Amino acid sequence: MSINVYPKTVELKDGRSIILRPFVRNDAQALHAFLKAIPEEDRLFLRHDVRDPEVVQKWMEELDSNNVIPLLAVDDDQVVGIGRIHLLTHGWMQHVGHMRLITARTHRHQGLGGLIARELVALAESRNLEKLQCHVIEDDTAALRMCQTLGFETAGVLRGMVKDQRGTKRNLAILVSDVANLGEALDDWIQDSMVPAYRVPGACVG
Ligand SMILES: CC(C)(COP(=O)(O)OP(=O)(O)OC[C@H]1O[C@@H](n2cnc3c(N)ncnc32)[C@H](O)[C@@H]1OP(=O)(O)O)[C@@H](O)C(=O)NCCC(=O)NCCS
C-alpha cells in the first residue's frame, strides 16, 4: 500500500468519522497532548512514561529512519489514537514487525483499535513483512483480548520479565501472527463487528 492513499476516513461503530494518516513532525504537539492525557491506569501497562516529552521527541527522530511505520487517528483535529510498527532493516528478524497501539478512552470499544490494526497490517504487507508480534502485560486484559480477537496467538509468557510504571514486576505476553493470516482475521472481524458502519470490500473507507 502506498503512503499516497492517506488521509483515509473510517467510521466507528457509533458513526464518528476518524481520519487515519501517517504522522509527521508537525504532529509533535498534538501527539504530546494526547499522550499527556492518558490516564494512569493505562500508563501503568505502557513500555515508557509517555508523559515525558522525550518520548515524542524520540518518535519524531524515528520518522527519519526506515524502522517505523507510524499511523495517527484524528478526530476533529485531535489525536485519538496512535499505531506503530517497528521493524529492523537487517538481520534475522527483518521479516518481523512489532506492533504497538493505543486509543483514547473517549473512543474505545468503537472499533478504533481494530481499524488502526487493519491499516497497519496492510502497511506491513506492503513492506513485505511476514510476521507481526505484540508484547503486552498479561494483566492488561483489554490489550490481550484485542490482540487475540484480531488474530494474534499467545506464543509465550515471560514471567516477571518487565516492570510496570510503578516498578512492579509483571508477566509479558508475546503474541504473534503471520501477516497474511492477520489480514484475513481482521477482515472477518470487520465484517462481524463493524459492519454496517464499515463498508466492504477494502480495508478502509477511502
Ligand atoms: C487495547 C486498546 C488499544 C483497545 O482499543 P479499542 O479502540 O477499544 O479497540 P476496539 O474497539 O477496536 O476493540 C477491538 C477488540 O478488542 C477487544 N477489546 C477491546 N477492549 C477490551 C476490553 N476492555 N476488554 C475485553 N476485550 C476488549 C474486543 O474483542 C474488541 O472487539 P469487539 O468489540 O468486536 O468485541 C485500548 O484499550 C488501549 O489503548 N489500551 C491502552 C494501551 C495498550 O494497552 N495498548 C496495547 C499495546 S499493543
pLDDT per position as a tens digit, 52-79: 889 899 999 888 788 999 999 999 999 9
Expressed in angstroms, the distance from the first to the final Cα of the chain is 13
For ligand 1, what atom is nearest to the CA of residue 135? 48
Buried b (16+ CB within 10 A) or exposed e, 127-160: eebebbbbbbbbebeebbebbebbbbeeeeeeee
Cβ–ligand 1 distance for 112 under 6 Å, the answer yes
Residue 154 within any structural domain of the chain: no
Question: Is the beta carbon of 58 within 6 A of some atom in ligand 1?
Answer: no
**Residue range(s) defining the domain that contains residue 32:** 3-131+180-194
Does residue 205 lie within any of the structural domains? no
Q: Is there a domain that residue 158 lies in? A: no
Per-chain mean pLDDT for the chain:
91
Q: Is residue 147 part of a domain?
A: no
Q: Is the CB of 145 under 6 A from ligand 1?
A: yes
Residue 148 lies in a domain: no
Instruction: Give a yes or no: residue 71 inside a domain.
Output: yes
CATH of residue 66's domain is 3.40.630.30
Find cell 513532525 and name the residue: 25
- Cα-to-centroid distance, 92 and ligand 1 (Å): 31
Whether the predicted pLDDT of 200 surpasses 70: no
Residue 204 has pLDDT above 60, yes or no: no
**How many other CB atoms are found less than 10 A from the CB of residue 50?**
22
What is the CA(113)–ligand 1 centre distance, in A?
6
Report whether residue 43 contacts ligand 1, using a CB cutoff of 6 Å: no
The Å distance, Cα 20 to ligand 1 centre, comes to 17
Number of domains in the chain: 1
* Distance separating alpha carbons of residues 122 and 136, to the nearest angstrom: 22
**In angstroms, rounded to a whole number, what is the distance separating the alpha carbons of residues 80 and 72?**
8
Residue corresponding to grid cell 524520540: 58
